[in-house]
Amino acid sequence: MNPTNYLYISALLFTIGAIGVVVRRNAIVVFMCIELMLNAANLSFVTFARINGNLDGQVVAFFTMVVAACEVVVGLAIIVTIYRSRRSASVDDASLLKR
Amino acid sequence: MLVNNGLVYLIALPLFGAALLLLSGRRADRWGHLLATALSGMSFILGAVQFYQMLGRSPENRAVSQKLFSWISVGSFNIDAGLLVDQLSICFVLLITGVGTLIHIYSIAYMDHDKDRRRFFAYLNFFIAAMLLLVMGDSYLNLYVGWEGVGLASYLLIGFWNHKPAYATASKKAFIANRVGDMGLSFAIMIAFATMGTVSFSGVKEAAEGTSQGALTAIGIMLLLAATGKSAQFPLQAWLGDAMAGPTPVSALIHAATMVTAGVYLITRSNFIFDAAPTAQLLVVIVGAITLLFGAIIGTAKDDIKKALAASTMSQIGYMVLATGLGPVGYAFAIMHLLTHGFFKAGMFLGAGSVMHGTGDEVNMRKFGGIRHFMPITFATFGLGYLAILGVPPFAGFYSKDKIIETAFYAGGIKGILIGSVALFGAALTAFYMSRVMILTFAGTPRYDINHPPHESSFLMLLPMGILAIGSVASGFLLARGEALVHWLEPLFEAHEGHGKEILPPVVISLMALAVVIIGAAIAWFKYGRGTVADTAPTDVSIFTRIARRDLLQDDFNESVFMRPGQALTRLLVKTDDVVVDGTVRGVAAAALASGSSLRSTQTGFVRSYAALIVIGAVVLIAAIWAVTL
Amino acid sequence: MNYLTLIMAIPLVGAALIATLPQAKSLLAKQFALGTTLIAAVATILMTVKFERGNTDLQFVESYDWIKAFGIKYAVGVDGIALVLILMTALLTPIVVLAGWNESDNGRWSTKTFYILILVLQTMSFGVFAATDVFLFYVFFEAMLVPVYFLIGGYGSGERTAAAVKFLLYSLFGGLLMLASIIALYVLSGEQGGHTFNIAALSKLEMSSTTQNFLFLGFFIAFAIKAPLFPFHTWLPDAAKSATPGTSVLLLGVLDKVGTFGMIRYCLALFPEATKTFTPLIITLSVISIVYGAFLAIGAKDIKRLIAYTSISHFGFITLGIFAMTTQGHSGATLYMFNHGFSTAALFLVAGWMISRRGSSTIADFGGLQRVTPVMAWSFFIAGMSSLALPGLSSFVSEFLVLVGTFTRYPVAAVIATFGIVLAALYILIPVQRSLHGPTTPGNENLADLNLREKIAIAPVIAVIVFLGFYPAPALNIINPAAAHVLSQIGFTDPAPTHGGK
C-alpha cells in the first residue's frame, strides 16, 4: 500500500487534534487532543522512516512518546490542582495570565 | 624698561587686607578698619616713592615694569602677570591710594555705628587692590582682571546694605550694565589677538601701525563700549544714579573719583588705537558730548543730593571722554580734569555724606536748608569744591575744564564749534545745578525740625574733607603750572603739533566760560535763592522737568527695550523647552507606552485563543513557505 | 608602577570592605568611604606628579588580553587631557563624600549601599577616562549608568524614579548608537588587516566619507547626550533636581565630562574628515546651547534646575572650544572641564546645604541668607562668581581661552557666545539677590550656618577655584602638549594673526 496514505491519516488526525484543542473547553479533552496531535506526528515519523528506509523516524517517535508521557504526568497534575482549587476543569476559567 | 620688583606690593598689601578681614570674621571687628586704613596708606607711600623715583629719571626712562609669572600661555596666546607703572599709571596710583586712604579715614567715623564696618573696610581694600591692578596691568587682559574686579567691588559696596531690596537691585543693575561694557572689552581683546597676535599694551602699540583701519576701528569701538559701561557714559549710563544706594564714602571713592574714571584711563591708555582710528575717535567725542549734557540735565532735576552729584559725575566724565576723543592734545587735559575732579567731587560727596550724617541720613535737599549755620566746616569744604567744579579761577576746575572747552573749540571746523558749544552749554548747566545743590542745602531757611538741628561731623570726617578741599583749590594750578602734567604725560602720546586752529583766542573762551557759569549760577539763585523752597517737589511741572526727573527716561527705555522683551523671551524659551524639546522626548516615551497598552489587549489570557493563534500562525507560515517554493 | 590599575582598584577594594561591614554601622561605612576616596586621591596626585609633562605619548600604559577571540584588551593609558579629568574625579569624590555626609539617610536602601555605589562609580569614571581600547571604553561608559541610576532612583528626592529612568533610557539610547559605530569599526578593522579595538589602530582605518559621517554621528550623538548639548539636554535638569547634591556633583562634574572628553578622544581622533564636515553644525549647536541654557537658567525657579541649566550653557562653551580647532580653544575646553567640575561642585554642594536646611529647593523660599548664614552665603556667592567666570577665578581663564580660540577661526560664533557672559551675570545675580539679599523671609530666621565638616568640604573647592584663577599654569602645563598633539594629529594649525603682527 502507498505509504503516502499514512501521511494523509496523520494530517487528518493532527487537524482533528488541533481543532479539538481550539474548540473544547474541558481541560481533559484538550489534553487528549494534544495527545492526538502528538501521535499524529508519531505516525508521520514512522511513515517517513518507512519511506526513507532508515530508523531515524522510529527513534524520534520513541522520543516523542517519552516526552508525551512526561507531559501527561505534569499536565494531569496541573489539571487536578486547578480542579481542586477552582472546582472546574474548564480552560477558560484559568485565564489568569492576562493579569 | 626698568624693572622694579616692588610694584606688586602696591596691590598685594590691600588685597591681603581684604582677605584677612573677610576670613578672620568677627575677631577682626576691633582692629579691622585700622589695619585696612594702614594698608591703604602704605600703598600710597609706596606709590609716592615710585613717583619720587620717577621724577629723578629722564622722561624716556620713567616707566617701570615687573613680571610676576606667566599667567596664561597657550600656543601663541601668552599673557604674563605683568605690571607696568608709567607716567599715566602713576597719576592714577596716587589718586587711587591717596583719595582712597582719605576715604578710609573718613569711613572709620562714618561707618562707626554699622556693625558690619569690618566687612565694609574689607571691600574698600579689595577695591583699592583691584583698581590698582586695573591701572598697573601691562596688558589688556590684566587690565580686564582689575576691570571686573572693581566691578565686583562696586557691586558689593553698592549692595552693602543689601537687606533693602532696592539696594540689592541697584547693585545687580550696576554689575549687569558693567558686564555689557566688559563684553566690549572682551571683544576688543579678541579682535586684537586675532589681528595682531598680542594683547599687551606695548605689543598692540607696535602692531597698531601695520593693522587695517577696519580692525582698529572695531577695537576702538569695542573699547569705547567698555568705557561707557564702567564710566557710566551714554548708552550704559543708567546704573550710576542707582549706585548711590551704597554708603556715601563709596560714592565718593568709587562712583566719583576713581572707578568711574577707568573708562577715561582705558581710552587714554589705548591712544595708539584711537589716534589711528578716526571713526572710533569721533564716536568717543559724540558719546562724551551726549553724556555731558545728559548728566547735566538730569542733575538739574534731582532732589536727592547724592543723585544730583552722581549726575554731575556722569556729566564731568563726559567732559573727560570728550577730551580723550580730541586726539593727542586732549589726553593730558582729560587726565588733568580727571585728577582735579577726583579731588573736588570726592570732597563734595564726603561733604554730602557729612550732611547726611548730621541730619540722620536725609538725602532729600528739599528737607535741608540753612545748614551752613550748623555745619560750617562742611559748608566751607563743600563750597570750595563747588567753586572748583564751576571752573571759577583760580580753583582747580578752571584749569582743567577750561582747557577742555578750549580744545573742543579748536578741534576744527563745524565739529569744533559744535562740541565747543556743547561743552560751554554744559558748563552753564553745571553752574546751574551745582548752585541749586549749594543753595538748597546750605542757604535759605531750615526745612526740618529746628529742635533737632544738624550737628557738625567729627574730626576724622572733617580731616579728609579738608585735605580734599585743599586739593580742589590748588591741584589745578599745580598741574597746569608750566603745563606740568602735559609735559609729564607727553612721552606716552604721539607728538602733537600744538593746538588745532585757534578760532578764538584762549582768553575769550575763558571769559565766555566764566560768563555762562555766572549766568547759570544766577538763574539758580533767582529760582531757589530768593524766597522759600517747597519741602516737597512740586508736581505741576512741565513735561521736560518730569522727563528729567525720570532720568531722561533711561530706565524706561532699558526696561521696555531690553528687560521686558528679555523676560518675555525667557518665558517663551522655558515654555519651548518644556513643550517642544522635552515634549518630543516625553512624546516618544508616551508613544512607546501607548503602543504597549494597545498590543496588550490581544493578550486575553484564554489558552484556547493562544492555541488558535498558534495554529493559524503555523498554517500561514506553511502557506507562505509553500507559496514561495512553488 | 601600574598607577591606573591601582587607582581603579582602590575604590573597588574599599567598596568590597564596606560590603562586609554590618548593616547597622552606617557611620563606619561613611568613614571607610571617605578614607578610600582620600587614598585614591593621594594615589592620583602621586600619579600626576610622576606624569611627564612634555611627553605627548600615552603614559602609564598597560595592556592585557581580555577576550582574545575578539581582540579585546584591557588597555589603559593617559595623556594630559585624560589625566586632568582623572585628577578632577579623584579630588571631587572625597569632597562629595564629606559634603554629603547625611545624604544617604533618606534613601530607599542602606547607607552601605550608597557608598558602595559611589565607589564603584569612581572606578568606572577612572576607567572611562583611562581606557585606550574602544570596547573597554564602551563597557565603562555603559556600566557607569548603573550606579548613577541607583543613586538617583534610590537616594534622590521628588520624582526620583522617573528622573532615574529618563536618565538611563536617554543614555542607553546614545550608548546603543555608539555600540553600532563601534561594531562597524571592528568589522572594518577586520577587513583592513586584523580585528582590533585599539584606538590608535582604528584611527588609521580607511573609510569612505559616508561611512565616516555615519560612524561619527553614532559616537557624537552618544557624547552630545552625555555632555549634554542642545537639543539632547532635557534629562539633565530632571536628573539634577532629583538626585542628591553629591550625586549631582558627580553627574555634572564627572559623568558629563565623559561626553566632551569622548568628543576629543574618539570623534576627533577616529573621524577627522567627518569632524570637519560636521563642525559648522556642532559650532551652531554649541552656541545655541550657551545662549539657550543661559536663558533657561534665568527663567528657572528651582535652584537645582538652575544650576543644571548653567551647566548646559557651560558645556556649550566646552564643545565650542573643542570644535574651534585651535590650541587656545582646545586647552581652554579641557581646562574648562576641570574648572567646571569644581565650580559646579561648589554651587551644588552649597545649594544642597541650603535646601536641606530650608526643606525646599525653590529659589523664592530663600531670602536674606547673608545676614543669617554669612559663611554659607559667601560660599554660594563665590561659587556663583566662578560660574559667571569672574576674572581671578579659574573659570575665567578657561572661558576666555575658549572665546579667544574660537574668535580666531569663527568670529561670529565667538561674538554670540560672548553675549553669554552678560546672561551669566543675570543667571547668577538673580538667584543671589533672591536667596542671599533682601530682608530675611519668614522661615529662614533660624537656619544654621555651615558646620565644621561642611566648611572643610567647601574650602578646598574654593581654594582650587581661586588658585587656578591666579595661577593656571600647573593645569595648563599638563593640558597644553596634549591639546596641541591632538590638533596636529588631525592636521589643524592655529590661524596666524591677520594683519602683520609683531
Residues B71-83: b if buried by 16+ CB within 10 A, e if exposed: bbbbbbbbbbbbb
**Quick check: B224 pLDDT over 50?**
yes
* Contact across the interface for B605 and A18, Cβ inside 8 Å: no
Are C431 and C305 contacting, i.e. CB atoms less than 8 angstroms apart?
A: no
Query: All 3 cell numbers of residue C366?
Result: 530663600
* Contact across the interface for B75 and C429, Cβ inside 8 Å: no
Over residues B54-96, the pLDDT tens digits come to: 888 888 888 888 998 889 888 888 888 899 998 899 999 999 9
If you count them, how many residues does chain C have? 502
Q: Is residue B468 exposed (0-12), middle (13-18) or buried (19+ Cβ within 10 Å)?
A: buried
CA distances, B248 to each of B163, B243, B256, B362, B386 (Å): 17, 10, 10, 12, 18
What confidence tier does C129 reach under pLDDT thresholds 50, 70, 90? very high
Q: Which residues of B touch C331 (CB under 8 A)?
A: 74-75
Q: Which residues of C touch B74 (CB under 8 A)?
A: 327-328, 331-332, 401, 405, 476, 480, 483
Q: Which residues of B touch C480 (CB under 8 A)?
A: 73-75
Average pLDDT (C187-200) is 85
Which A residues 54-93 touch B at CB under 8 Å?
91-92
Closest residue in B to C333 (Cα–Cα): B74
Average pLDDT (C69-96) is 92
**Quick check: C251 pLDDT over 80?**
yes
The total of other beta-carbon atoms located within 10 Å of residue B229's CB is 28
**Quick check: C284 pLDDT over 90?**
yes
Residue in C170, C418, C432 closest to B183 by CB: C418
- C466 close contact with B: CB closer than 8 A: no
Query: All 3 cell numbers of residue C359?
Result: 526643606
CA distance A77 to chain B (A): 17
Q: Which residues of C touch B145 (CB under 8 A)?
A: 391-392, 396
**Domain ranges within chain B, ordered by starting residue:** 277-544, 572-628
Nearest to B33, CA basis, from B98, B96, B116: B116
Are C256 and C348 contacting, i.e. CB atoms less than 8 angstroms apart?
A: no
Select from C170, C390, C408, C478 the residue whose CB has the most chain B CBs within 10 Å, as the one to mutate to test that interface.
Answer: C408
**Quick check: B497 pLDDT over 60?**
no
If you count them, how many residues does chain A have? 99
| Amino acid making up residue B467 | I
What confidence tier does B540 reach under pLDDT thresholds 50, 70, 90? confident
Q: Which residues of A touch B603 (CB under 8 A)?
A: 97-98
* Contact across the interface for B615 and A25, Cβ inside 8 Å: no
Nearest to C440, CA basis, from C363, C372, C359, C360: C372
Q: Return the pLDDT at B499.
A: 54
- Ramachandran assignment for A59, one of left (phi > 0), alpha (psi -120 to 50 degrees), beta (any other): alpha
Query: All 3 cell numbers of residue B340?
Result: 582735579
Over residues A31-83, the pLDDT tens digits come to: 899 999 999 999 999 999 989 988 999 999 999 999 999 989 998 998 888 88
The enclosing H or E element of C57 equals: none
The 3 state secondary structure assigned to B552-615 is HHHHHHHHHHHHHHHHHHHHHHHHHHHHHHHHHHHHHHHHHHHHHHHHHCCCCCCHHHHHHHHH
- B604 close contact with A: CB closer than 8 A: yes
- B597 close contact with A: CB closer than 8 A: no
Q: Return the pLDDT at B24.
A: 86
Rounded Cα gap, residues B328 and B137, in angstroms: 22
Rounded Cα gap, residues C324 and C412, in angstroms: 12
Query: All 3 cell numbers of residue B205?
Result: 602699540
* Contact across the interface for B608 and A91, Cβ inside 8 Å: yes
CA distances, B343 to each of B93, B257, B348, B377, B449 (Å): 14, 7, 9, 17, 33
Q: Return the pLDDT at C502.
A: 37
Nearest to C115, CA basis, from C40, C39, C32, C42: C32
Bridge partner residues of C75 (DSSP):
C63
Q: What are phi and psi of B530, to 5 degrees?
A: -90, 155
Over residues B584-597, the pLDDT tens digits come to: 888 988 998 999 88
Closest residue in B to A91 (Cα–Cα): B607
Are C241 and C308 contacting, i.e. CB atoms less than 8 angstroms apart?
A: yes
Q: Rounded to the nearest 5 degrees, what angle is found at the Cα of B523, between the Cα atoms of B520 and B528?
A: 125
CA distance B605 to chain A (A): 4
Pairing of strands B64-74, B77-85: antiparallel
Tell how far CA B471 is from the center of its chain: 22
ipTM of the complex: 0.91
Identify the residue whose cell numbers are 598697573: B136
**Quick check: B476 pLDDT over 90?**
no
| Amino acid making up residue C43 | A
Q: Is residue B543 exposed (0-12), middle (13-18) or buried (19+ Cβ within 10 Å)?
A: exposed
Rounded Cα gap, residues C128 and C222, in angstroms: 14
Q: What are phi and psi of C131, to 5 degrees?
A: -60, 135
Residue in A18, A25, A96 closest to B605 by CB: A96
* Contact across the interface for A94 and B607, Cβ inside 8 Å: yes
The enclosing H or E element of C62 equals: strand C59-67
Q: Which residues of C touch B187 (CB under 8 A)?
A: 415, 418
Size of interface A-B (CB pairs under 8 A): 32
Query: All 3 cell numbers of residue C64?
Result: 592585557
Question: Is B315 in a helix, a strand, or coil?
Answer: helix
**Quick check: B503 pLDDT over 80?**
no
- Round the CA-based radius of gyration of chain A to a whole number and report it: 16
Query: All 3 cell numbers of residue B493?
Result: 602720546
Kindly report the average pLDDT of chain C as a whole number: 90
Are B260 and B159 contacting, i.e. CB atoms less than 8 angstroms apart?
A: no
Cβ-proximal residues to B19 (8 Å cutoff; 6+ apart), any chain:
none
Average pLDDT (C113-119) is 92
Residue in A22, A96, A99 closest to B608 by CB: A22
Query: All 3 cell numbers of residue C279?
Result: 563642525
Identify the residue whose cell numbers are 605627548: C56
Rounded Cα gap, residues B38 and B79, in angstroms: 32
Nearest to B288, CA basis, from B310, B267, B306: B267
Q: Return the pLDDT at C501.
A: 41
* Contact across the interface for A94 and B615, Cβ inside 8 Å: no
- B605 close contact with A: CB closer than 8 A: yes
What confidence tier does C13 reach under pLDDT thresholds 50, 70, 90? very high
Q: Return the pLDDT at A98.
A: 58
| Amino acid making up residue B627 | A
Q: Return the pLDDT at A11.
A: 93
Q: Supply the angle between the helices C452-470 and C80-99 in degrees, to the nearest 10.
A: 160
- B607 close contact with A: CB closer than 8 A: yes
Average pLDDT (B338-354) is 90
* Contact across the interface for B608 and A25, Cβ inside 8 Å: yes
Query: All 3 cell numbers of residue C173?
Result: 539610547
Of the candidate ranges A53-62, B537-546, C126-135, C285-294, the one whose mean pLDDT is the lowest: B537-546
Residue in B603, B605, B615 closest to A22 by CB: B615
Average pLDDT (B561-580) is 87
Bridge partner residues of B304 (DSSP):
B364
Pairing of strands B64-74, B2-3: parallel
Query: All 3 cell numbers of residue C311?
Result: 551647566
Rounded Cα gap, residues C113 and C107, in angstroms: 10
List chains touching C (3+ CB pairs under 8 A): B
CA distance B321 to chain C (A): 24
DSSP string, B371-411: GGGT-HHHHHHHHHHHHHHHT-TTSHHHHHHHHHHHHHHTT
Of the candidate ranges B35-49, B67-81, B355-369, the one whose mean pLDDT is the lowest: B355-369
Sign of CA dihedral B59, B61, B64, B65: positive
| Amino acid making up residue C360 | S
* Contact across the interface for B611 and A21, Cβ inside 8 Å: yes
Are B454 and B378 contacting, i.e. CB atoms less than 8 angstroms apart?
A: no
* Contact across the interface for B604 and A18, Cβ inside 8 Å: no
Are C83 and C335 contacting, i.e. CB atoms less than 8 angstroms apart?
A: no
- A16 close contact with B: CB closer than 8 A: no
Chains A and C touch (3+ CB pairs under 8 A): no
Are C246 and C173 contacting, i.e. CB atoms less than 8 angstroms apart?
A: no
Over residues B119-176, the pLDDT tens digits come to: 999 999 999 999 999 999 999 999 999 999 999 999 999 989 888 888 888 899 899 9
**Quick check: B498 pLDDT over 70?**
no
**Quick check: C500 pLDDT over 70?**
no
Half-sphere exposure of C133 (CA within 13 A, CB side): 22
List chains touching B (3+ CB pairs under 8 A): A, C
> For chain C, what is the total number of helices (H) and then of strands (E)?
22, 2
Q: Return the pLDDT at B15.
A: 93
Pairing of strands C72-78, C59-67: antiparallel
* Contact across the interface for B163 and C392, Cβ inside 8 Å: no
Question: Is B271 in a helix, a strand, or coil?
Answer: helix
Select from B599, B601, B604, B608 the residue whose CB has the most chain A CBs within 10 Å, as the one to mutate to test that interface.
Answer: B608
Identify the residue whose cell numbers are 563726559: B318
Of the candidate ranges B21-30, C368-377, C492-501, the one whose mean pLDDT is the lowest: C492-501
Q: Is residue B527 exposed (0-12), middle (13-18) or buried (19+ Cβ within 10 Å)?
A: middle
Residue in C391, C426, C480 closest to B145 by CB: C391
Rounded Cα gap, residues C483 and A7, in angstroms: 76
The total of other beta-carbon atoms located within 10 Å of residue B373's CB is 11
- B417 close contact with C: CB closer than 8 A: no
Of the candidate ranges B424-433, B483-492, C61-70, C280-289, the one whose mean pLDDT is the lowest: B483-492
Average pLDDT (C308-312) is 93
CA distance C234 to chain B (A): 6
Over residues C360-402, the pLDDT tens digits come to: 888 888 888 888 888 999 999 999 999 999 998 999 999 999 9
Q: Return the pLDDT at B100.
A: 92
What confidence tier does C150 reach under pLDDT thresholds 50, 70, 90? very high
Rounded Cα gap, residues C358 and C373, in angstroms: 12
